[in-house]
Structure 1
């Protein structure tokens, strides 16, 4: 295996990881602050992708498409929080799961009704298309490098928001003792709406960015949501740093596993069987990683102790 191929796969894993971070960061904030299991988070990813594709098709502007994705997902998240989620905070997790699963069906059928059943396509803008040459002679798509940069920039922004701003102080306090901050005069309902809209906006941004490298279609958020749950279990519930580290670990494990497992099995089996067995094991690696982390540290890598 050449160094260039390995480096490209590492970059692919990093790009996949930072996109998972945009999903898992909002999910871990919502679960950490509100204690809410939100299965509809993947639908907000889908809404961002469809909003971006629709606006890009009308205006031809990728920047406007990203802004539309942020606005549409945040608005949908705030609306859902006010109309539905607000009634679930004092209910048990089973009620939350059933209600948010119903939201998945509503969003999926509503999107199909508005946009139809056929996929939409969001083109990469000309100024981000084509490869760039990195040190070592590595040719890598500029757009994927841009995704890595955007994801890391969002991670830095979230860290500063949580650690250096008044809103961040309220969010951290809400994770620890929501009754106390409500008693101190913080409008807890407003705080919950802001947190939910922020998480929805991050999911919508991820959907718009990913929509340019795959088709935009109904149900595209659910597979990503499953991986986002794996990420927050590995990183620790409520931890932005844990979401970032967990996302990168999952992205690299998934990508490099798909590269190395078939080659490893080929040493002991014939080529056809090796490819099948290697691919099957590669798809299991992230769950094996999650199990190992939970055995070593049940609260996740950066989760608070119970």
Structure 2
């Protein structure tokens, strides 16, 4: 197996992990600040993708499509928080799960009603299409490298927001003692709406970016949501740094496991059996990783110890 193939798959895993981070960052903010289990987060990812595909089809501008995805998902998130989520903060986690699962059904059927059941397609813009030559003669798609760069810039922006701004101080304080910051005059309702809208916007942006390399279709957010939950469990609930590290670990594990486990098993068994067994093990690899991390550190890599 060539070194070029290995490096390409590492880059693929990194790109996948960065996109998971955009989902997981919003999810970990929402759970960390509000204590809310939001199963509908994947639906906001889907909303962003459909908004981007629609705007790109109407205007031909990919940048406008990204702005639309970010804005529409943020607006949808704010509406959902005000109308539904605000009534669930003091509810049991089971009630939160049932209510947000109902939102999944509403978003899915509403999207199917507006856009139809057929997938939409969002093209990679011409200025980001084609490969770029990396050191060592490796050719890699420019768009995927751009996704990695955008994700890292978002991570840097979130760090600055939470660590260097007044609203970030309020968000971090809200994770620890929401009653105290409310007593100090912070409008908790507005803070929660802002955090939920920000998390929704990041999910919508991720949906738009990924929509250019896969079809945009109803239900596309749920498989990504499952992995996003794995990411925040590995990284630690409420930690942006943990979400980034956890997402990269999950992305690399999922991508490299699917490629290299079957090849490794061919050294010990027949090709067909190795492929079947390797594929099965690869599908479990991220959950095995999560189990190992939780055995070693039950609060996640960067979660606060109880």
What stretches of structure 1 move > 2 A for 4+ residues in a row? Answer: none
Could you tell me how far 1:231 is from its partner in structure 2? 0.1
* Distance across 2 between alignment mates of 1:263 and 1:103: 42
Question: What pairs up with 1:235-274 in 2 under 5 angstroms?
Answer: 235-274=235-274
* Equivalent residue number for residue 91 of structure 1: 91
Deviations 1:191-232 (A, max 9, x none): 000000000000000000000000000000000000000000
* Equivalent residue number for residue 163 of structure 2: 163
* Equivalent residue number for residue 54 of structure 2: 54
* Equivalent residue number for residue 205 of structure 1: 205
TM-score in terms of structure 2 length: 1.00
Could you tell me how far 1:114 is from its partner in structure 2? 0.1
* Distance across 2 between alignment mates of 1:274 and 1:282: 12
Give the superposed CA RMSD. 0.3
Deviations 1:263-304 (A, max 9, x none): 111011111111010011011010000000000000000000
Unaligned stretches of 5+ in structure 2?
none
3-state SS of 1:163 partner? helix
Deviations 1:28-76 (A, max 9, x none): 0000000000000000000000000000000000000000000110000
3-state SS of 1:219 partner? coil
* Equivalent residue number for residue 185 of structure 1: 185
* Distance across 1 between alignment mates of 2:112 and 2:259: 36
Could you tell me how far 1:130 is from its partner in structure 2? 0.1
* Distance across 2 between alignment mates of 1:56 and 1:50: 10
3-state SS of 2:139 partner? strand
3-state SS of 2:305 partner? coil
Unaligned stretches of 5+ in structure 1?
none
Could you tell me how far 1:258 is from its partner in structure 2? 1.0
* Distance across 2 between alignment mates of 1:175 and 1:276: 44
Verify: 1:139 aligned to 2:139, yes or no: yes
* Distance across 2 between alignment mates of 1:104 and 1:36: 15
* Equivalent residue number for residue 7 of structure 2: 7
Could you tell me how far 1:182 is from its partner in structure 2? 0.1
* Equivalent residue number for residue 295 of structure 2: 295
User: What is the aligned length?
Assistant: 306
Could you tell me how far 1:260 is from its partner in structure 2? 1.2
